[in-house]
Amino acid sequence: MAMTAIQTTSARLSFEDFLERSDEDCLAEWVDGKVEYRMPASLAHQLLCKFLLLIIELFVQERKIGTVLAAPFLMKLASRPAGREPDLLYLAEANRDRLRSTYLDGPADLVVEIVSPESRERDRGEKFEEYAASGITEYWIIDPDLRIAEFFVLRETVYRPARIDSNGRFWSVALPGFWIQLSWLWDQPGITEVLGNWQSVAASPDE
C-alpha cells in the first residue's frame, strides 16, 4: 500500500504511455511527464494503512456514500500535471463519474498519505500544494514513526488545519459523521471497539 520514493526516470512519457507501460502492481507515480518509482513501505505503514482502510470503508459502505481505494491506484491531477498514488483515497458517490478502470480522472474528496522519512518533505510540500490546487476537500498526513497526525480541510483554495476536539477526536468534513480518535492511529484497536465507540458518540460536539 504505502510507498517510498527510490528512483525517478529521466525519460518523459505522456500519461497514456505511462499507463500502457505500467501493470496493476506497479508502485510508481507520474509527475511532470517523469516516472517516480517507489518501493514497498515498512510494516508500520502497512498496518496503519490496513486499519484506516478497514474503518473508512466500513463507514462508507454501510452508508453507500462512495468508494474507498488503496494504493496502487492512480489519481490524475491537472494542477501540475501529475498522476499520484495516495495511500488511501475516498471518492463521494456524486463524483463517481471520475472513476476509470485504471485511474481516477480528477481529485478525490479525501486523500490520506502515510509518510516515511523519505517522503515527509514531498507529502508536506509538493503534494500539499498539488492537492489544494486540485480541489481535494480533505488531506490527512500521518507519520507513524513520529506519531504525528495532521488533518487539513480546504477553505476556498487553501488548506487549513482541522480542529481536534477536547476528547482527542478528529471529525471529518469530507465524510460527515465520521470521526477518529487520534490514539487509534497508534493503538489500532479491533473493529468491535471502534464500532462501540462510534455508537456511543453519534454526533459531533458542534451539533
Distances (CA, A) of 205 to 139, 166, 169: 21, 9, 10
List, for residues 71-97, the tens digit of each pLDDT value: 889 999 987 777 899 999 999 999 999
Per-residue pLDDT for 24 more than 50? yes
Predicted confidence (pLDDT) per residue in 165-194, tens digit? 999 999 999 999 999 999 999 999 999 999
Domain ranges of the chain: 43-200
Distances in Å between the Cα of 119 and the Cα atoms of 7, 12, 45 are 13, 22, 12
- Residue 107, C-alpha cell as written in the block: 481529485
* Domain at 43-200, CATH homologous superfamily: tt1808, chain A (3.90.1570.10)
What's the grid cell of residue 91?
A: 471518492
pLDDT at 108 over 50: yes
- pTM to 2 decimal places: 0.81
Predicted confidence (pLDDT) per residue in 25-34, tens digit: 556 666 667 7
